[in-house]
Amino acid sequence: MVVPLFISEKARDLEYVKNYQPDNTELQHLRILLHGPVGAGKSSFINSVNNILQGRMTGSALVNSAGDNSFTKKYLTYKIPRKPTQKGDRKTFYSVAFTDIMGLEKHANNGVHPEDIKLALKGHVTQGYKFNPVSPLSEGDPGYNSCPTLDDKVHILVCVIPADRLSVLSEEVKQKIRDIREAASDLGIPQLALFTKIDQACSVTESDIKNVYKSKYLKKQMEDFSADVGVPMNCIFPVKNYHSEIHMNDDIDSLILSALRQMVDFGDDFVNMS
């Protein structure tokens, strides 16, 4: 048998995320809410995490708790199934769950209303609720959950930004991001940002995503975003999602796992304080 001499950072992060369980046994999962412009790579990120935790390419076999696979403007939770250790075992899930909110479009009437995102942070949006961009959810509506449990609440807010389109993000979109961040900060919810599509952002990362921290261009983009929106530099994670690959790739996994590990740590701190 070949005994590995060292365990890679990637392997450590993977084990860490796979083994993570909240101390509070009432909590099934950390809820990670992804928000950001349409096409930023939110769904692809969730699928990428699914691939990595399953250890294989999975397509989009994600489970959402509303039992519905439509990719509309519905509020859906995606959970990632654990491989059963024995045949006939009950289906169980990893302790991270994702909610993907489409939105933040330039015009107020497109995308999910920022007020709805704020309600989602507090757990007031029912699974399967179809967002209405024109009028936000209000108390008493059928989609309004008046008694959210700790599981319903958001524990980590993640802003997803396409690294190749940062310079064209409109002031309106940035303002929406700031508003949502502020609402999350008021609730004490930890936040981080993902810079996706680094493989398309500049020639240095296009040739090899391992060069990500050598790219002056990307560093400048991250600094500008940090200054503009207020996410600290050490909370911005550059990633490349699985989007056209046929096989798994260690470099893709490493970047995604370091972001995911930080999400778990931040979320865990938050639920332990709640």
Ligand X SMILES: Nc1nc2c(ncn2[C@@H]2O[C@H](COP(=O)(O)OP(=O)(O)O)[C@@H](O)[C@H]2O)c(=O)[nH]1
Judged by CB under 6 A, the stretch of 34-42, 77-85, 103-111, 181-189 that binds ligand X is 34-42
Between 185 and 204, how does the x/- string for binding to ligand X read (CB under 6 A)?
-----------xx-xx----
Q: Among 44, 51, 99, 145, which residue interacts with ligand X (rule: CB under 6 A)?
A: 44
Using CB under 5 A as the criterion, which residues of the chain lie in contact with Mg ion when the complex forms? 42-43
Judged by CB under 6 A, the stretch of 39-47, 57-65, 72-80, 149-157 that binds ligand X is 39-47
Judged by CB under 6 A, the stretch of 36-44, 126-134, 213-221, 255-263 that binds ligand X is 36-44
Instruction: Report the residue number, 38 or 227, with the smaller CB distance to Mg ion.
Output: 38
Tell whether residue 106 is a contact of ligand X (CB under 6 A).
no
Inter-residue contact 198 to 48 (CB < 8 Å)? no
Q: Among 42, 118, 124, 181, which residue interacts with ligand X (rule: CB under 6 A)?
A: 42
Tell whether residue 243 is a contact of ligand X (CB under 6 A).
yes
Number of neighbours of residue 105 by Cβ within 10 angstroms = 17
Instruction: Report the residue number, 253 or 268, with the smaller CB distance to ligand X.
Output: 253
Judged by beta carbon distances under 5 to 8 A according to partner kind, the member of Mg ion, ligand X, none in contact with residue 39 is ligand X
Instruction: Report the residue number, 89 or 208, with the smaller CB distance to ligand X.
Output: 208
Total of chain residues touching ligand X, rule CB under 6 A: 14
| Cα pseudo-dihedral 143, 39, 121, 178, rounded to 10 | -130
Instruction: Report the residue number, 104 or 229, with the smaller CB distance to ligand X.
Output: 104
Tell whether residue 41 is a contact of ligand X (CB under 6 A).
yes
- In the complex, the smallest distance separating the C-beta of residue 239 from Mg ion, rounded to whole angstroms, is 15
Instruction: Report the residue number, 22 or 37, with the smaller CB distance to ligand X.
Output: 37
Instruction: Report the residue number, 13 or 164, with the smaller CB distance to ligand X.
Output: 164
SS (H, E, C) the chain: CCCCCCCCHHHHHHHHHHHCCCCCCCCCCEEEEEEECCCCCHHHHHHHHHHHHHCCCCCCCCEECCCCCCCCCECCEEEEECCCCCCCCCCCEEEEEEEEEEECCCCCCCCECHHHHHHHHCCCECCCCECCCCCCCCCCCCCECCCCCCCCCCCEEEEEEECCCHHHCCHHHHHHHHHHHHHHHHCCCCEEEEEECHHHHCHHHHHCHHHHHHCHHHHHHHHHHHHHHCCCHHHEEECCCCCCCCCCCHHHHHHHHHHHHHHHHHHHHHHHHC
Q: Which residues bind ligand X (CB under 6 A)?
A: 38-44, 196-197, 199-200, 240-241, 243
